[in-house]
């Protein structure tokens, strides 16, 4: 039986996580977005995913979405992610690394292109406030309203009930990546998590290890 991944803030259908981040022969993708124009399977806000039953998905994937919330909405959303996951389910997150970008701002590089993505060049301005061309085109869903450092994000995840939690930096794209579990994590998941923590490239202060 295929496992289910809930892609929260999925965007356009042409952008799929299957076959790139997750094996297409093992997973089926359920797409959720607040914007009906992207034709998701479920139209809903990530702060209230009521159409998704409790404990119904094996994984939640959300890339560059939490930053579009107000700060007080982030804990609500993380609890929603926890709610829809099966016990032992996995949360995979990506958000901008505001701490890394702040260093560029301090160097007076606010309007300098610092990396390229599929949309085009990205500046610190885009990371902090939202992608400029999309905002100029009238897409207010793309505005950024909060930000994260590794320690803040790790603490928010643990307070929401995730354990264990790992947060690490992807420096080339000025972003933070997360792998976390709804307890109880399986023995296989914990073994994989331990391997992640032992990976030399990920031994950074950004990592959060299991409590205790």
Tens digit of each residue's pLDDT, the chain (212 residues)? 899 999 999 987 655 677 667 888 899 999 999 989 889 999 999 999 999 999 999 999 999 999 999 999 999 999 999 999 999 999 999 999 999 999 999 999 999 999 998 889 999 999 999 999 999 999 888 899 999 999 999 999 999 999 999 999 998 889 999 999 999 988 877 777 666 665 554 444 355 555 43
- Is 88 within the bounds of a domain? yes
How many other C-beta atoms lie within 10 A of the C-beta of residue 143? 13
Residue 168 DSSP SS3 = strand
- What is the distance between the alpha carbons of residues 65 and 40, in angstroms, rounded to a whole number? 15
CA distances from 205 to 140, 169, 201 (A): 34, 9, 12
d(CA 56, CA 77): 16
The neighbouring-strand residues paired with 122 are 115
**CA neighbours within 13 Å on the CB side: how many for 205?**
6
Between CA 191 and CA 129 the distance in angstroms is 38
Domain contains 184: yes
CB neighbour list of residue 134: distance below 8 Å, 6 or more residues apart: 119, 142
pLDDT for 157 equals 96
45: containing domain: 3-97+145-202
- Tokens 């997150």 sit on residue: 93
Q: What are phi and psi of 99, to 5 degrees?
A: -65, -45
Q: How many domains does the chain have?
A: 1
pLDDT of residue 212: 39
Q: Is residue 123 part of a domain?
A: no
Q: Tell me, what's the pLDDT at 204?
A: 42
Q: With respect to residue 198, please indicate whether it lies within any of the assigned structural domains.
A: yes
Would residue 40 count as lying in a domain?
yes
- Within-domain flag for 117: no
At residue 61, the pLDDT reads: 95
pTM equals: 0.87
Answer whether residue 193 is part of any domain.
Answer: yes
**pLDDT confidence of residue 22:** 81
CATH of the domain at 161: 3.40.50.150
Cβ-based neighbour number of residue 67 at 10 Å: 19
* Confidence at residue 198, expressed as pLDDT on a 0 to 100 scale: 59
- Going 41 to 43 to 48 to 53, the CA torsion angle's sign is negative
132 lies in some domain: no
| C-alpha to C-alpha distance for 117 and 96, rounded to whole angstroms | 13
What pLDDT, on a 0 to 100 scale, did the predictor assign at position 211?
45
């Amino acid at each position: 039986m295929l496992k289910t991944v809930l892609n929260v803030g999925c965007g356009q259908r042409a952008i799929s996580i299957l076959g790139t981040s997750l094996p297409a022969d093992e997973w089926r993708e359920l797409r959720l977005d607040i914007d009906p124009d992207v034709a998701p399977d479920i139209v809903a806000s990530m702060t209230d995913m009521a159409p998704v039953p409790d404990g119904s998905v094996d994984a939640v994937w959300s890339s560059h979405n939490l930053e579009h919330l107000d700060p007080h909405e982030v804990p609500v959303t993380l609890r929603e992610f926890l709610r829809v996951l099966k016990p032992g389910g996995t949360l995979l997150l990506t958000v901008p690394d505001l701490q890394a970008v702040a260093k560029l701002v301090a160097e007076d590089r606010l309007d300098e292109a610092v990396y390229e993505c599929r949309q085009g060049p990205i500046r610190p301005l885009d990371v902090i406030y939202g992608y400029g061309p999309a905002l100029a085109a009238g897409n207010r869903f793309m505005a950024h309203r909060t930000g994260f450092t590794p320690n803040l994000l790790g603490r928010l995840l643990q307070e929401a009930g995730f354990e264990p939690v790992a947060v690490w930096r992807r420096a080339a794209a000025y972003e933070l990546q997360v792998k976390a579990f709804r307890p109880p994590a399986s023995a296989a998941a914990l073994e994989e998590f331990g391997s992640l923590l032992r990976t030399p490239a990920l031994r950074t202060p950004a990592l959060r290890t299991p409590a205790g």
